[in-house]
Structure 1
Amino acid sequence: MACQSRCRYKHCLSVKSRATQPRAWISTGPQQQHGTFYEFRTYNIQPHLNAAFLKLTSEKIHLRTAHSELIGYWSVEYGGLNQVFHIWKYDSYAQRASVRAALAQDPNWIEQYISKAMPMLSSQDNEVMYLVPWSKIQKPPKDGGVFELATFQMKPGGPAVWGKAFHASVGIRTGSGYAHAVGVFHSEFGPLNQVHVLWWYESADERAAIRRTSHEDARVVAAVRESAAYLVSQKNKLMFPCAFSPIK
């Protein structure tokens, strides 16, 4: 009886300890409450086949979009030669698996596109991204213009470490009218602790002028300095939307 009493006492202590254990969140601000994710795909094209690949894709992309949602498709102008970048939206990993299975059984997709496009590529890469909780996809105010994909490799620790500072850095640029953020994404598969910001500008020259102006704005400078304390490295690409891109 004494042994049973001690066991019950230890069990109660264990339950009480778990119940009163403090809780902490890995991210700051609103929590992500849904499974929607975005697949970032980057294809490197053999230089002499770049034009042929873009022509084929333009003619046959409808075979692919019949299966799942395309967010945007761009040709990289600076920061990666003979390269295309595209974003696909999925509601869940199960949906993506079913889409990939359906594509593998689609004779039109295989015969009219894949069999011709794959020999034109030198490599493919993909990443799985989530929108940060405080961001959503926002189309540019008008068609045309250029897009900058800015990629930030942040220090380990996730949004709990750098989320607030990064949010402020993006917010001061959009809130001051310096740039239009199409979306802000953080990595789930691929290089970890990575954030992508997709910006839109009316032209490459407008981007250059805005950067000169914003770099003289004390508010922007202060926000960037705070965010940079958590930064490991960064890179970017300037891209033009393809004619068939939903976002352009």
Structure 2
Amino acid sequence: MDWNHSYRTALLNSNDIVTDWTNVGKIHILGVDWRMTATLRMNMTERFQRPEHIVVNKVYASLATGPRQDNGIFYEIRTYDVKPSKMKEFVEVINQHIHLRTAHSELVGFWTVELGAMNKAIHIWKYDNFAHRTAVRAAIANDKDWQGKLSLILTCVEKQHNEVAYLVPWCQLGKPPKEGGVYEWVTFQMKPGGPALWGEAFRAAINTHINTGYTKLIGVFHTEYGLLNRVHVIWWNESPDNRAAGRHKAHEDARVVAAVRESVRFLESQENMLLVPLHCSPLK
């Protein structure tokens, strides 16, 4: 067995970074516990105490955690499947009464899906931390005015789904240059490994699209609760036709093509939706 290759592979596939080999009786490599003889253990101890392997240890230990944001702010993404016969009523109630809910915490955006799905609504709430969300949930449970309107909303809804996500560290939540456009919500299901594995390639692909100038980046979110290794990217476009024209140009841009080819090596699936903001949405 090539222990040098297997050791490096183990570092990439395990949360435990072994740095002291003198007291190790077994190691976990490729999903298997390998028991070592004293001779093999001594050989590996001597081998991995060399300077070049100490550097490898530090590099992979750093990659194991990946970039992290420096505060507790997170976003709850809520998706509602609305009864087809109730969509109009749902939108009207939300527009008229969402102010009762936003009195308790910040609404980032509220949209209905125009293309890519049907009878679906998506909204995003911002929280300072999990204690903040707990306090907000307790407050709205005791808000009789909101609870009365919520009961009307829920009669329109067939199914609810939520996720908790963080903005990636290299992205700030953006705003559109003007009101009246449409939003593109792109969901990427990435291979397991997190940003430590695919983060740089993904960032490069996003940046090349930004540099084309045809679209405005609003936010890049990676999930903490819900399906993991999922990234949601929100773009703003002046119109669906402007987006289509920009995409055609981007497909002919060698920089975009190269960056996307690198990023898709880590991609398992992708989904696209065109969103229209509600009148009450802060992001319009």
TM-score, reference length from structure 1: 0.89
Determine whether 1:217 maps to 2:253: yes
- Structure 2 SS opposite 1:169: helix
Alignment partner, residue 8 of structure 1: none
Alignment partner, residue 221 of structure 2: 185
Q: Superposed, which structure 2 residues align to 1:86-97 within 5 Å?
A: 86-97=123-134
- How far 1:80 moved relative to its partner? 1.5
- Structure 2 SS opposite 1:59: helix
Distance in 2 (alpha carbons) for counterparts of 1:115 and 1:228 = 43
- Structure 1 SS opposite 2:135: helix
- How far 1:24 moved relative to its partner? 1.9
Which of 13, 21, 26 is 2:64 aligned to? 26
Distance in 2 (alpha carbons) for counterparts of 1:66 and 1:136 = 24
- How far 1:26 moved relative to its partner? 3.4
Aligned AA (2:248): R
Does the Cα contact within 8 Å between 2:212 and 2:250 map onto a contact in 1?
Answer: no
Alignment partner, residue 5 of structure 1: none
Gaps of 5+ in 1: 1-12, 15-19
Encode CA deviations 1:10-60: one digit per residue, 9 max, x unaligned. Answer: xxx99xxxxx974424355x5311110000001111101100010011110
Distance in 1 (alpha carbons) for counterparts of 2:112 and 2:219 = 18
Encode CA deviations 1:204-227: one digit per residue, 9 max, x unaligned. Answer: 011111111100110100000000
Distance in 2 (alpha carbons) for counterparts of 1:201 and 1:44 = 24
- Structure 1 SS opposite 2:228: coil
Q: What is the root-mean-square deviation of aligned Cα atoms in Å?
A: 1.5
Determine whether 1:231 maps to 2:267: yes
Encode CA deviations 1:189-247: one digit per residue, 9 max, x unaligned. Answer: 00100011000100001111111110011010000000000000000110001111001
- How far 1:79 moved relative to its partner? 1.3
Determine whether 1:63 maps to 2:97: no
Gaps of 5+ in 2: 1-21, 24-53
Determine whether 1:84 maps to 2:157: no
- How far 1:158 moved relative to its partner? 0.6
Alignment partner, residue 158 of structure 2: 122
- Structure 2 SS opposite 1:161: helix
Does the Cα contact within 8 Å between 1:40 and 1:88 map onto a contact in 2?
Answer: yes
- How far 1:95 moved relative to its partner? 0.4
Q: Superposed, which structure 2 residues align to 1:42-191 within 5 Å?
A: 42-111=79-148, 113-191=149-227
Aligned residues: 229
Determine whether 1:244 maps to 2:267: no
- How far 1:138 moved relative to its partner? 0.7
Does the Cα contact within 8 Å between 2:76 and 2:125 map onto a contact in 1?
Answer: yes
Aligned AA (1:43): Y
